[in-house]
Amino acid sequence: MKTLTDLSPAEVREAFKESGFPAFRAGQVLKWIYENSVTDFRNMSNLSKSLREELAAKWQIDSLREVKRNSASDGTIKFGFALHDTHIIESVLIPMENGKQTFCISSQVGCAMGCKFCNTARMGMVRNLSPSEIVCQVLYLYREAGLREQHRSFNVVFMGMGEPLANLDNVLKAMRILIDKDGMNLSRRRITVSTCGIVAGIRRLAREEYPPRLAISLNAADDETRLKIMPVTEGNPLSELLDQLRRYPLPQRERFTFEYVLIRDVNDRDKDAASLSRLLNKLRYKINLIPFNPFPGSDYLAPDPVRIEAFQQILFSKNITATIRKSKGQDIQGACGQLAVSVEKELG
């Protein structure tokens, strides 16, 4: 059975036309899905029962099934979703201090990047997610957060399982559906793509009509250190990465975010902090310092708080905006770098 949320709104209208449905029916269905977050034809009350049955026989809407939910003491909720082939992905609903919500969504089952500080990397690469499997994470979290009733906005961050730029065709299509006025009608400023720094992928993003905000997982100021903890550096050296970022169509009032996972005795030295300002010359940016979040079997440790603050103060002395991320969902393994599937075994 085909999945309606794999299609852009324009493709939905064309599919309805080819099936002989009146044009306005496509608009009704799109409104139910993307404005009301309704993913069951049976609940679309302004459609006749016979039409609902005909649509349900032809298409499905939701490509996810919730199989696990963990709530953290800070209000963060981590969801485990089963896909049609029984693989599991995880998404995280994160309440922010400003009252808004951030949806951390996945783009792949597993990941091939092999970053040593990331639990997802230990899964290896399983497969890419379809546009529907990406979009439906947003729809599900939107519904669970009750945002339609509260009239509140939200942010989408591609910081869950997988490397978004390694599944770029499907990520781009999902983003276009989220941005489309007949889709989620989400501002591009509300979407952030986090990447290990795949140069060719950033080049493609730059050609998009509505390029997203970028967060680059940097984690070292030199290729040698970066290669030790991020194998993707081979073939994507810092020189080429930064050259491509300087060509990126960054709006005047926006900045890149460089994510820097602080790992004890690996990249948390004074000289590492001092090197960052030289490396990132001629870019508008901020640095998000992320103390390493431990996970079972990890060989790394987070620096102690005094070292983290000292690192930040060195950046301040170079007139660099640097924040220390307050990791949320640590007690449910829902923080940065901690996502990995353990429920697949439970499903047999």
- The SS3 of residue 73 is coil
Which of 262, 341, 345 shows the shortest CA–CA distance to 305? 262
- Taking CA atoms, 192 is separated from 212, 213, 290, 308, in Å, by 6, 5, 17, 25
Rounded to whole angstroms, how far apart are CA atoms 324 and 309? Answer: 8
Query: Residue 226: which residues within 8 A CB-CB, separation 6 or more?
Result: 218, 219, 220, 233, 238
The gap between the terminal CA atoms of the chain, to the nearest Å, is: 24
Q: SS3 for 14-26, per residue? A: HHHHHCCCCHHHH
* CA atoms of 12 and 29, how far apart (whole Å): 9
User: Considering 53, 66, 90, 115, which one is annotated as catalytic?
Assistant: 90
**Residue 335 DSSP SS3:** coil
Yes or no: say if 273 and 315 are a contact pair by the CB < 8 Å rule.
yes
Catalytic residue among 18, 240, 336, 344: 336
Catalytic residue check, 90: yes
CA dihedral 329, 330, 331, 337 (to 10 degrees): 100
The label of the residue with tokens 């599900």 reads 140
Task: State how beta strands 108-110 and 125-128 pair.
Answer: antiparallel
Catalytic residue at 208?
Answer: no
Q: Which residues are catalytic?
A: 90, 336
